[in-house]
Amino acid sequence: MLSNSAKYALKAVLYLALHTNEDNKLMVKDIYSRINVPQSYLAKLMQKLSKNGIISSSRGPKGGFYASNQNIDLPLIRVVEVIDGEQRLRSCMLSIHECDSENPCALHDLVGNANSFFIKNLEETTIKQLIGDVKSGKSVLPL
């Protein structure tokens, strides 16, 4: 359902949300090994996330990437849409362009409701909620 790029981006955003703020920024070189993402690939993702307002960044000697209060209030769907585009989550699992509820592919009925539920959860869950679960011990992130 999610591309590797979207998974990497979500891990990076969650890492920043847990470990940074406006006064404590991190560089890509400080993050990539902790979240197991190739450094150059992560740098591209971080630039894209920053450009689209998912994370914040600043230049200069004390610069780097960070998650602001405004960033962590965003729903998870924003991260996925910026990285994968809006259509990827809603596209056919078998990549059949003609697939829809009127002309379903062989997997359509098996994944349709689960996919709709997943998208709804991405739309309704914020970054802040996920890091709250991690901080409280309700969920884990190997970071």
pLDDT tens-digit series, residues 47-104: 999 999 999 999 988 899 999 999 999 999 999 999 998 777 778 888 888 888 888 8
Residue 143 has pLDDT above 70, yes or no: no
- Cα end-to-end span (Å), the chain: 23
Domain coordinates in residue numbering, the chain: 4-90+126-136
Beta strands in the chain (DSSP E): 56-58, 64-66
* Amino acid at position 9, single letter: A
Q: Which fold does the domain 4-90+126-136 belong to in CATH? A: Arc Repressor Mutant, subunit A (1.10.10)
Percent of the chain with pLDDT over 70: 99
Higher pLDDT, 97 or 9: 9
Largest CA distance in the chain: 57
**pLDDT above 90 (res 142):** no
Assessment of whether the complete model's pTM goes beyond 0.75: yes
